[in-house]
Amino acid sequence: MGGASSRCRSTPFDRRTAPSPPQLKAKPLKKIVSFLPILGWAPGYSKSAAVSDLMAALIVTVMLVPQSLAYAMLAGLPPQTGLYASILPLLAYALFGTSRALAVGPVAVVSLMTAAAVGQVAAAGTTDYLTAAMTLAFLSGLILLAMAVLRLGFLANFLSHPVISGFITASGLLIAVSQAKHLLGISAKGDTLPHMLIGLWRGLGDTNLPTLAMGLATTAFLLWARKRLKPLLLAHGLPPRTADLIAKAGPAAAILLSVLAVLAFGLVDRGVRIVGEIPAGLPPFAWPSLDFGLWQQLFLPAMLISLVGFVESVSVAQTLAAKRRQRIRPNQELTALGTANIAAALSGGYPVTGGFARSVVNFDAGAETPLAGAFTAIGILAATLFLTPLFRLLPQAVLAATIIVAVLSLVDLAAIRRTLVYSKADFAAMAVTIATVLGHGVETGITAGVALSLLLFLWRTTRPHMAVVGQVPGTEHFRNIDRHAVLTDPTILSLRMDESLYFANARALEDAIYDRVADQPALRHVILMCPAVNTIDASALESLESIAHNLAASGIGFHLSEVKGPVTDALKRSDFLQNFKGQIFLSHYAAVNALQAPDPTKV
């Protein structure tokens, strides 16, 4: 791994991406480095790192060119938009990003979300549509930067793994089905799975056979190249890196071969739809729309795209960083992705984020610094300048095949099964996300998933687990009497509350105590064991007062044990402790010992 890795003496728990060179240790400089991570690694950039980065960039470029064209088509945009979105944003990320392997650019899920969002405000193929897509990228960039400044990165935590996983699986399915029309060479509309399937069924009679043949052949070739080509090349004695490069060039090869086929067999005349003229040249500089009405319409989609893009990007970046014992800084990632999206908006692109497949490729190919991304940008720029005439004859079916093969890896059935076994609540959130994405589109789907997962969490806290506990013999430890062989005292009810006490569950505690008190006639003391009570809000405080009052009326003492520091602090601010007749014990063992002692019925 050469120069760069030899500097990586930091543990995996070091929060810096790279140790700063000594001359940058001063405080203000540290701050600048934290904002511009490139200053951290650029001064020590070595020749061997440059070779690694260049090699990785070459492989990623070869992979990214067809993907950029394909994802732009998926987003309903002209193909060059995808290329534009793969140039400046990569440079922006190279400046601001903290991950050394993340490859940003157009990705499948965000392209689908872009199509859904922009399709609501403009007709596909119009200038308005293009402007709306750029505005969406701009808004998304602003939102990400605002999240960075306001340190709102934690918002991404609300997208739980099952929701994100279900969302990506469903999006993958939706994307694959949406591309089927291109494979068949028919026109079909629909944003949701049922509509798409109906559209496909109705259009089936118009299938263009040469298109279908080319589409199926490409799909088969890409699947083969992905699974079998690299082992085959290695078996024939090619060096691993070369084998990798050739295998990753599968989509590029498919493009070349298909263009040749279109030329050779005159397929355009036989009804095979092609991409058409793509303007060559530098990405255009363009202002996004400043129409406030449009901003309002696009705000929510931009928010969702930002969150989904951020979550996808950060989880890829973290996975890869962990493999090399590096850490990324999620907040700085917000800045980097925000800047990348603004760069996309200003250069004729559309929303971008870190892609899973290409980042893994970048990492495996040995990328050592974000400069690999900058080199990739130069590669894409070269393609934009010199290769666009080639893409004119590119069949749409080939791009569709590229997309289908790429997104099938997003469908993760194992994760669905694992979640089903582990937790009904998690599975419910996942299933609702999948069903809603397929039936109502991406935005409704992810919103429904997040809302449901939060509601299920809340719901669970309203029905708290409570356990009557007893002493584990020979220890000072108290556990559930239903699960462990423990010692109990008939005059003492030890109840452990397994939830924070707040307005939504305070009544449940009252009911539980009153029910158990009614069942235990010899009772003289109730001790509420609070190791799991992380907060007591004003409503629950009133419940505790009412419990204490009602138990006192029946001649039963009410005490608390193992009340944690922050809760004690809060109780001290109220007048609860002044009126509280019971005791508060440091440990439950101390409580039971103290309350047993004066009991004349015990020896």
Which of 525, 510, 593, 601 lies closest to 556, judged by CA? 525
Beta bridge mates, 494: 527
Torsion of the alpha carbons at 120, 440, 302 and 161, rounded to the nearest 10: -170
Nearest to a second copy of 162, 283 (CB atom): 162
- Please give the single-letter amino acid code of residue 389: P
CB nearer a second copy, residue 550 or residue 583 = 550
| CA-wise closest residue to 259 among 244, 234, 278 | 278
Angle at Cα 357 formed by Cα 355 and Cα 361, nearest 5°?
110
Nearer to a second copy, 211 or 500 (CB): 500
Give least dist CB 222 to a second copy, A: 31
Q: Which C-beta is closer to a second copy: that of 351 or that of 464?
A: 464
Q: Determine the Cα–Cα distance for residues 383 and 377; give it in Å rounded to an integer.
A: 10
Burial class of residue 136, CB neighbours in 10 A (0-12, 13-18, 19+): buried
Tell the smallest beta-carbon distance from residue 535 to a second copy (Å): 6
Which of 77, 591 has the CB closer to a second copy?
Answer: 591
- Residue closer to a second copy (CB basis): 327 or 559: 327
**Shortest Å distance, C-beta 361 to a second copy:** 23
- To a second copy, the closest distance from the beta carbon of 5 in angstroms equals 16
Question: Could you tell me how many residues make up the chain?
Answer: 603
C-beta of 163 vs 317, nearer to a second copy = 163
- State the nearest-atom distance from the C-beta of 174 to a second copy, in Å: 23
Q: Name the minimum Å distance from CB 526 to a second copy.
A: 11
CB of 363 to a second copy, least distance (A): 17
Q: Of the two residues 51 and 458, which places its CB atom closer to a second copy in the complex?
A: 458
Q: Which one, 166 or 349, has the nearer CB to a second copy? A: 166
Q: Coil, strand or helix: which one is 207?
A: coil
Write a three-state SS string for 427-496: HHHHHHHHHHHHHHCHHHHHHHHHHHHHHHHHHHHHCCCEEEEEECCCCCCEEECCCCCCECCCCEEEEE
The distance from CA 462 to its chain's CA centroid, rounded to whole angstroms, is 28
Question: Rounded to the nearest whole angstrom, what is the least distance from the CB of residue 593 to a second copy in the complex?
Answer: 11
262: which residues sit within 8 A by CB, 6+ positions away?
268, 272, 274, 393, 394, 395
Distances 505 to 160, 213, 466, 494, 572 between C-alpha atoms, Å: 24, 62, 11, 19, 22
Q: Are the C-beta atoms of 560 and 545 separated by less than 8 Å?
A: no
Smallest distance from the beta carbon of 25 to a second copy, in angstroms? 18
What are the b/e assignments for 355-385, b being 16+ CB within 10 Å?
Answer: bbbbbebbbbbbbbbbbbbbbbbebbbebbe
Least spacing, CB of residue 448 vs a second copy, in Å: 15
Q: Which of residues 398 and 450 has its CB atom nearest to a second copy in the complex?
A: 450
Measure the CA–CA gap between 493 and 467, rounded to whole angstroms: 10
Determine the Cα angle at 574 with ends 570 and 575, to 5°. Answer: 145
Minimum separation from the CB atom of position 102 to a second copy (A): 18
- Closer by beta carbon to a second copy, 49 or else 425: 425
Minimum Å gap between C-beta 495 and a second copy is 14
Half-sphere exposure of 599 (CA within 13 A, CB side): 19
- Output 64 or 547, the one with its CB closest to a second copy: 547
**Of 158, 383, 197, 187, which Cα lies nearest the Cα of 282?**
383
Q: How far apart are CA 469 and CA 590, in angstroms?
A: 14
In terms of CB distance, is 118 or 430 closer to a second copy? Answer: 430
Beta strand pairing call for 492-497 and 525-529: parallel
Quote the least distance from Cβ 372 to a second copy, whole Å: 25
Smallest distance, Å, CB 532 to a second copy?
4
Residue environment code for 139-164, b if the CB has 16+ CB neighbours within 10 A, otherwise e: bbbbbbbebbeeeebebbeebbebbb
Give min distance, CB of 260 to a second copy, in A: 46
Strand ranges for 291-427 from DSSP E: 353-354
By beta-carbon proximity to a second copy, the closer residue of 199 and 354 is 354
* Tokens 């539980």 found at: 512
Name which of 269 and 569 has its Cβ closer to a second copy: 569
Instruction: Identify the residue whose tokens are 């989904």.
Output: 308
Residue with tokens 């500097």: 7
- Please choose, from the candidates 92, 103, 100, the residue with its C-alpha nearest in 3D space to the C-alpha of residue 41: 100
